[in-house]
Copies of this chain bind each other. A is one copy, B any other.
Amino acid sequence: MSSETAFISALRRLATDPAARGLADDAAVLELGGTRLVLTHDMVVEGVHFLADDPPGDVAWKLLAVNLSDLAAKGARPLGALMGYSLRGDAGWDRAFLAGLEEALAAFSLPLLGGDTVSVPATAPRALGLTAIGTSAGRVPSRSGAKAGQTLWVSGTIGDAGAGLRILRDGQPGAEALVRRYRRPSPRLSAGGRLAPLVGAMMDVSDGLLIDAGRMADASGVAILIDLARMPLSSELVEYGGSGRAARLVAATAGDDYELLFSAPFAAAQEIFALAKELGLSLLPIGRVEDGSGLSLRDGEDLVPRPESLGWEHR
Protein backbone atom coordinates (compact mmCIF):
# COMPACT_ATOMS: atom_id res chain seq x y z
CA MET A 1 0.00 0.00 0.00
CA SER A 2 1.45 3.39 -1.00
CA SER A 3 1.83 6.02 1.69
CA GLU A 4 -0.90 8.02 -0.04
CA THR A 5 -3.33 5.11 0.03
CA ALA A 6 -2.41 4.51 3.67
CA PHE A 7 -2.99 8.18 4.49
CA ILE A 8 -6.41 8.23 2.86
CA SER A 9 -7.39 4.99 4.61
CA ALA A 10 -6.40 6.53 7.92
CA LEU A 11 -8.43 9.66 7.15
CA ARG A 12 -11.47 7.46 6.41
CA ARG A 13 -11.24 6.00 9.90
CA LEU A 14 -11.49 9.56 11.28
CA ALA A 15 -14.38 10.60 9.06
CA THR A 16 -17.07 8.66 10.90
CA ASP A 17 -19.91 11.16 10.52
CA PRO A 18 -22.54 9.91 8.02
CA ALA A 19 -22.32 13.30 6.25
CA ALA A 20 -18.78 12.38 5.18
CA ARG A 21 -20.11 9.37 3.21
CA GLY A 22 -16.93 7.53 4.23
CA LEU A 23 -14.85 9.96 2.10
CA ALA A 24 -15.85 7.63 -0.75
CA ASP A 25 -18.26 9.88 -2.62
CA ASP A 26 -17.77 13.02 -4.72
CA ALA A 27 -18.94 15.28 -1.89
CA ALA A 28 -20.15 15.40 1.70
CA VAL A 29 -23.88 15.74 2.31
CA LEU A 30 -25.01 17.47 5.47
CA GLU A 31 -28.67 17.49 6.50
CA LEU A 32 -29.49 20.94 7.81
CA GLY A 33 -33.01 21.84 8.84
CA GLY A 34 -34.95 20.57 5.84
CA THR A 35 -32.26 21.25 3.26
CA ARG A 36 -29.17 19.30 2.21
CA LEU A 37 -25.79 20.99 2.02
CA VAL A 38 -23.39 19.44 -0.47
CA LEU A 39 -19.72 20.23 0.21
CA THR A 40 -16.56 19.45 -1.70
CA HIS A 41 -12.91 20.53 -1.56
CA ASP A 42 -10.59 19.71 -4.43
CA MET A 43 -7.10 21.02 -5.12
CA VAL A 44 -5.36 21.51 -8.44
CA VAL A 45 -1.58 21.14 -8.43
CA GLU A 46 0.88 22.19 -11.11
CA GLY A 47 2.34 19.15 -12.85
CA VAL A 48 -0.50 16.92 -11.64
CA HIS A 49 -3.78 18.60 -12.61
CA PHE A 50 -2.43 21.30 -14.90
CA LEU A 51 0.72 22.05 -16.83
CA ALA A 52 3.20 24.72 -15.73
CA ASP A 53 2.67 26.60 -18.99
CA ASP A 54 -1.13 26.36 -19.06
CA PRO A 55 -2.64 29.86 -19.27
CA PRO A 56 -3.34 31.05 -15.69
CA GLY A 57 -6.91 31.95 -16.59
CA ASP A 58 -7.52 28.34 -17.62
CA VAL A 59 -6.11 27.16 -14.28
CA ALA A 60 -8.68 29.34 -12.50
CA TRP A 61 -11.41 27.91 -14.72
CA LYS A 62 -10.32 24.35 -13.97
CA LEU A 63 -10.12 24.98 -10.21
CA LEU A 64 -13.78 26.01 -10.22
CA ALA A 65 -14.92 23.46 -12.78
CA VAL A 66 -13.50 20.37 -11.06
CA ASN A 67 -15.24 21.32 -7.82
CA LEU A 68 -18.52 22.22 -9.50
CA SER A 69 -18.38 18.89 -11.32
CA ASP A 70 -18.54 17.19 -7.89
CA LEU A 71 -21.63 19.25 -7.04
CA ALA A 72 -23.14 18.39 -10.45
CA ALA A 73 -22.64 14.70 -9.76
CA LYS A 74 -24.73 15.10 -6.60
CA GLY A 75 -27.42 17.14 -8.37
CA ALA A 76 -26.62 20.16 -6.21
CA ARG A 77 -27.07 23.83 -7.03
CA PRO A 78 -23.90 25.85 -6.22
CA LEU A 79 -24.20 28.47 -3.48
CA GLY A 80 -20.64 29.74 -3.38
CA ALA A 81 -16.96 28.97 -3.02
CA LEU A 82 -13.97 29.66 -0.79
CA MET A 83 -10.48 29.64 -2.30
CA GLY A 84 -7.04 28.89 -0.86
CA TYR A 85 -4.43 30.63 -3.02
CA SER A 86 -0.64 30.50 -2.85
CA LEU A 87 1.21 33.60 -4.07
CA ARG A 88 4.62 32.85 -5.57
CA GLY A 89 5.72 36.38 -6.32
CA ASP A 90 4.66 36.40 -9.98
CA ALA A 91 2.24 39.32 -10.23
CA GLY A 92 1.64 38.78 -13.96
CA TRP A 93 0.55 35.18 -13.41
CA ASP A 94 -1.68 36.25 -10.52
CA ARG A 95 -3.34 38.98 -12.61
CA ALA A 96 -4.05 36.56 -15.44
CA PHE A 97 -5.42 34.04 -12.92
CA LEU A 98 -7.75 36.68 -11.48
CA ALA A 99 -9.04 37.58 -14.94
CA GLY A 100 -9.84 33.91 -15.56
CA LEU A 101 -11.36 33.59 -12.09
CA GLU A 102 -13.67 36.52 -12.77
CA GLU A 103 -14.72 35.00 -16.09
CA ALA A 104 -15.36 31.57 -14.54
CA LEU A 105 -17.28 32.96 -11.55
CA ALA A 106 -19.53 34.82 -13.98
CA ALA A 107 -19.91 31.85 -16.33
CA PHE A 108 -20.99 29.60 -13.45
CA SER A 109 -22.93 32.33 -11.55
CA LEU A 110 -20.85 31.35 -8.55
CA PRO A 111 -20.35 33.79 -5.65
CA LEU A 112 -16.82 33.94 -4.24
CA LEU A 113 -17.44 33.94 -0.50
CA GLY A 114 -14.03 33.87 1.11
CA GLY A 115 -10.74 32.07 1.48
CA ASP A 116 -7.13 32.67 2.29
CA THR A 117 -4.03 33.88 0.49
CA VAL A 118 -0.55 32.83 1.59
CA SER A 119 2.93 33.39 0.23
CA VAL A 120 5.13 30.44 -0.69
CA PRO A 121 8.61 30.29 -2.26
CA ALA A 122 8.84 30.66 -6.04
CA THR A 123 10.25 27.12 -6.23
CA ALA A 124 7.14 25.45 -4.76
CA PRO A 125 4.66 24.03 -7.27
CA ARG A 126 1.44 25.99 -7.48
CA ALA A 127 -1.22 24.28 -5.37
CA LEU A 128 -4.66 25.85 -5.26
CA GLY A 129 -7.64 24.69 -3.24
CA LEU A 130 -11.32 25.41 -3.56
CA THR A 131 -14.27 24.53 -1.39
CA ALA A 132 -17.60 24.58 -3.22
CA ILE A 133 -20.87 24.61 -1.29
CA GLY A 134 -24.13 23.63 -2.88
CA THR A 135 -27.63 22.76 -1.86
CA SER A 136 -30.16 20.19 -2.91
CA ALA A 137 -33.86 20.27 -2.20
CA GLY A 138 -34.28 16.61 -3.07
CA ARG A 139 -32.44 13.34 -3.14
CA VAL A 140 -28.62 13.43 -3.34
CA PRO A 141 -27.46 10.39 -5.32
CA SER A 142 -24.35 8.56 -4.15
CA ARG A 143 -21.85 6.31 -5.89
CA SER A 144 -23.34 3.34 -4.09
CA GLY A 145 -26.85 3.35 -5.54
CA ALA A 146 -26.29 1.20 -8.66
CA LYS A 147 -28.51 -1.90 -8.76
CA ALA A 148 -28.43 -5.01 -10.93
CA GLY A 149 -30.63 -4.57 -13.97
CA GLN A 150 -30.00 -0.83 -14.30
CA THR A 151 -28.44 0.70 -17.39
CA LEU A 152 -25.12 2.60 -17.18
CA TRP A 153 -25.10 6.00 -18.88
CA VAL A 154 -22.56 8.72 -19.53
CA SER A 155 -22.91 12.37 -20.53
CA GLY A 156 -21.00 14.12 -23.31
CA THR A 157 -17.99 12.50 -24.94
CA ILE A 158 -15.08 10.63 -23.37
CA GLY A 159 -11.35 10.98 -23.91
CA ASP A 160 -11.20 14.50 -25.34
CA ALA A 161 -9.35 16.01 -22.38
CA GLY A 162 -6.87 13.12 -22.28
CA ALA A 163 -6.06 13.75 -25.92
CA GLY A 164 -5.77 17.47 -25.19
CA LEU A 165 -3.22 16.72 -22.47
CA ARG A 166 -1.16 14.53 -24.83
CA ILE A 167 -1.28 17.23 -27.51
CA LEU A 168 0.08 19.78 -25.00
CA ARG A 169 2.55 17.53 -23.23
CA ASP A 170 4.05 15.73 -26.21
CA GLY A 171 3.69 18.53 -28.75
CA GLN A 172 1.53 16.29 -30.97
CA PRO A 173 -0.65 17.95 -33.59
CA GLY A 174 -4.37 17.91 -32.74
CA ALA A 175 -7.52 19.95 -32.61
CA GLU A 176 -7.73 23.02 -30.37
CA ALA A 177 -11.14 21.72 -29.20
CA LEU A 178 -9.40 18.80 -27.50
CA VAL A 179 -6.94 21.11 -25.73
CA ARG A 180 -9.87 23.23 -24.63
CA ARG A 181 -11.60 20.21 -23.13
CA TYR A 182 -8.44 19.62 -21.03
CA ARG A 183 -8.07 23.22 -19.94
CA ARG A 184 -11.70 24.29 -19.57
CA PRO A 185 -13.86 21.39 -18.48
CA SER A 186 -17.64 21.93 -18.38
CA PRO A 187 -19.27 20.85 -15.13
CA ARG A 188 -22.65 19.30 -16.01
CA LEU A 189 -24.65 21.24 -13.44
CA SER A 190 -27.98 21.44 -15.28
CA ALA A 191 -27.90 17.81 -16.27
CA GLY A 192 -26.87 16.73 -12.75
CA GLY A 193 -29.72 18.61 -11.13
CA ARG A 194 -32.28 17.13 -13.52
CA LEU A 195 -30.87 13.60 -13.40
CA ALA A 196 -30.60 13.35 -9.60
CA PRO A 197 -34.21 12.19 -9.07
CA LEU A 198 -33.97 9.63 -11.89
CA VAL A 199 -30.70 7.80 -11.25
CA GLY A 200 -29.51 4.92 -9.12
CA ALA A 201 -25.87 5.91 -8.64
CA MET A 202 -24.22 9.05 -10.02
CA MET A 203 -20.61 10.36 -9.96
CA ASP A 204 -18.38 12.43 -12.15
CA VAL A 205 -15.70 10.96 -14.39
CA SER A 206 -12.47 12.64 -13.33
CA ASP A 207 -9.78 9.94 -13.17
CA GLY A 208 -10.87 7.88 -16.21
CA LEU A 209 -14.14 6.24 -17.25
CA LEU A 210 -13.00 2.72 -16.39
CA ILE A 211 -11.45 3.45 -13.00
CA ASP A 212 -14.44 5.56 -11.98
CA ALA A 213 -16.92 2.94 -13.18
CA GLY A 214 -14.96 0.38 -11.16
CA ARG A 215 -15.35 2.62 -8.09
CA MET A 216 -19.09 2.79 -8.66
CA ALA A 217 -19.22 -1.00 -8.91
CA ASP A 218 -17.23 -1.40 -5.68
CA ALA A 219 -19.26 1.22 -3.78
CA SER A 220 -22.55 -0.32 -4.94
CA GLY A 221 -21.54 -3.96 -4.48
CA VAL A 222 -22.43 -4.84 -8.07
CA ALA A 223 -20.72 -5.75 -11.34
CA ILE A 224 -20.57 -3.19 -14.15
CA LEU A 225 -20.18 -4.13 -17.81
CA ILE A 226 -19.13 -1.41 -20.25
CA ASP A 227 -19.40 -1.73 -24.03
CA LEU A 228 -16.49 0.20 -25.54
CA ALA A 229 -18.28 0.29 -28.88
CA ARG A 230 -21.05 2.43 -27.33
CA MET A 231 -18.68 4.87 -25.65
CA PRO A 232 -19.36 8.32 -27.17
CA LEU A 233 -16.36 9.86 -28.94
CA SER A 234 -16.20 13.37 -30.38
CA SER A 235 -15.49 13.84 -34.08
CA GLU A 236 -12.30 15.72 -33.09
CA LEU A 237 -11.11 12.75 -31.05
CA VAL A 238 -11.85 10.28 -33.85
CA GLU A 239 -9.94 12.50 -36.26
CA TYR A 240 -7.05 12.71 -33.79
CA GLY A 241 -6.73 9.07 -32.78
CA GLY A 242 -9.22 7.02 -34.71
CA SER A 243 -12.07 4.98 -33.29
CA GLY A 244 -10.52 1.50 -33.08
CA ARG A 245 -10.40 -0.54 -29.91
CA ALA A 246 -6.95 0.71 -28.90
CA ALA A 247 -8.06 4.34 -29.25
CA ARG A 248 -11.20 3.59 -27.25
CA LEU A 249 -9.17 2.03 -24.45
CA VAL A 250 -6.93 5.10 -24.37
CA ALA A 251 -10.00 7.36 -24.13
CA ALA A 252 -11.63 5.20 -21.46
CA THR A 253 -8.55 5.33 -19.21
CA ALA A 254 -7.62 9.00 -19.68
CA GLY A 255 -8.76 11.41 -16.99
CA ASP A 256 -10.20 14.93 -16.84
CA ASP A 257 -13.47 14.22 -18.66
CA TYR A 258 -15.68 15.75 -15.95
CA GLU A 259 -18.71 14.04 -17.45
CA LEU A 260 -21.49 12.38 -15.46
CA LEU A 261 -21.57 8.61 -15.08
CA PHE A 262 -24.85 7.24 -13.77
CA SER A 263 -27.02 4.17 -13.58
CA ALA A 264 -30.76 4.27 -14.07
CA PRO A 265 -33.64 1.81 -14.30
CA PHE A 266 -34.87 0.94 -17.77
CA ALA A 267 -38.11 2.81 -17.12
CA ALA A 268 -36.19 6.12 -16.93
CA ALA A 269 -34.68 5.81 -20.41
CA GLN A 270 -37.29 7.83 -22.28
CA GLU A 271 -37.10 10.65 -19.75
CA ILE A 272 -33.29 10.68 -19.97
CA PHE A 273 -33.33 10.84 -23.76
CA ALA A 274 -35.86 13.67 -23.61
CA LEU A 275 -33.65 15.51 -21.13
CA ALA A 276 -30.63 15.09 -23.42
CA LYS A 277 -32.60 16.64 -26.25
CA GLU A 278 -33.81 19.50 -24.06
CA LEU A 279 -30.32 20.29 -22.72
CA GLY A 280 -28.49 19.74 -26.02
CA LEU A 281 -26.14 17.37 -24.19
CA SER A 282 -25.54 13.79 -25.24
CA LEU A 283 -26.71 11.25 -22.61
CA LEU A 284 -26.07 7.72 -23.83
CA PRO A 285 -26.24 4.18 -22.45
CA ILE A 286 -22.79 2.53 -22.43
CA GLY A 287 -23.30 -0.56 -20.33
CA ARG A 288 -25.25 -2.26 -17.61
CA VAL A 289 -25.24 -3.14 -13.95
CA GLU A 290 -25.30 -6.82 -13.00
CA ASP A 291 -25.12 -9.02 -9.96
CA GLY A 292 -21.55 -9.79 -8.97
CA SER A 293 -18.56 -7.52 -8.55
CA GLY A 294 -15.95 -5.58 -10.51
CA LEU A 295 -15.73 -4.09 -13.97
CA SER A 296 -15.77 -6.00 -17.23
CA LEU A 297 -15.48 -4.77 -20.80
CA ARG A 298 -16.67 -5.73 -24.18
CA ASP A 299 -16.40 -4.19 -27.62
CA GLY A 300 -19.63 -5.00 -29.41
CA GLU A 301 -19.78 -8.80 -29.33
CA ASP A 302 -16.16 -9.32 -28.15
CA LEU A 303 -15.11 -9.63 -24.53
CA VAL A 304 -12.12 -7.35 -23.92
CA PRO A 305 -9.55 -7.98 -21.16
CA ARG A 306 -9.26 -5.16 -18.63
CA PRO A 307 -6.23 -2.98 -19.34
CA GLU A 308 -3.52 -2.95 -16.68
CA SER A 309 -4.21 0.67 -15.73
CA LEU A 310 -7.83 1.81 -15.56
CA GLY A 311 -6.99 5.49 -15.01
CA TRP A 312 -5.39 7.81 -12.48
CA GLU A 313 -4.89 5.97 -9.20
CA HIS A 314 -3.88 8.82 -6.91
CA ARG A 315 -4.68 12.45 -7.17
Please give the residue numbers on chain A whose beta carbons come within 8 Å of chain B beta carbons, in ascending order.
3-4, 6-8, 10-11, 14-17, 19-20, 23, 27-28, 30, 32-35, 37, 39-43, 45, 48, 79-80, 82-87, 89, 91, 94-95, 98, 101-102, 105, 111-121, 123-125, 127, 129, 131, 133, 135, 314-315
Contact = CB atoms under 8 A, between A and B. Distances in A.
A105 B14 contact: yes
Nearest to A137: B33
Contacts of A6: 91
Nearest to A6: B91
- Among A40, A101, A120, A131, residue most surrounded by chain B Cβ atoms (within 10 Å): A131
A35 B35 CA distance: 10
Given A17-B111, A98-B7, A127-B127, A30 B116 contact: no
A131 B82 CA distance: 8
B112 A14 contact: yes
Q: Which 8 A-B pairs have the closest CB atoms?
A: A17-B111, A28-B113, A41-B82, A131-B131, A84-B129, A124-B124, A28-B114, A3-B91
Contacts of A19: 80, 111, 113
A121 B115 CA distance: 24
Contact of A120 (B15, B102, B125): B125
Contact of A30 (B16, B23, B39, B113): B113
B30 A80 contact: yes
- Among A37, A114, A116, A133, residue most surrounded by chain B Cβ atoms (within 10 Å): A114
Nearest to A131: B131
B135 A43 contact: no
Contact of A7 (B10, B33, B45, B87): B87
Given A28-B82, A117-B4, A131 B17 contact: no
B32 A94 contact: no
B80 A111 contact: no
B131 A120 contact: no
Contacts of A11: 98, 112, 115, 117
A85 B102 CA distance: 26
Nearest to A25: B114
- Among A6, A11, A98, residue most surrounded by chain B Cβ atoms (within 10 Å): A11
30 contacts: A4-B117, A7-B91, A8-B117, A10-B95, A11-B98, A14-B102, A14-B112, A17-B80, A17-B111, A19-B113, A20-B80, A28-B82, A30-B133, A32-B79, A33-B34, A33-B35, A39-B80, A39-B113, A41-B131, A42-B116, A43-B118, A45-B119, A82-B131, A86-B127, A116-B129, A119-B315, A121-B125, A124-B124, A127-B127, A129-B129
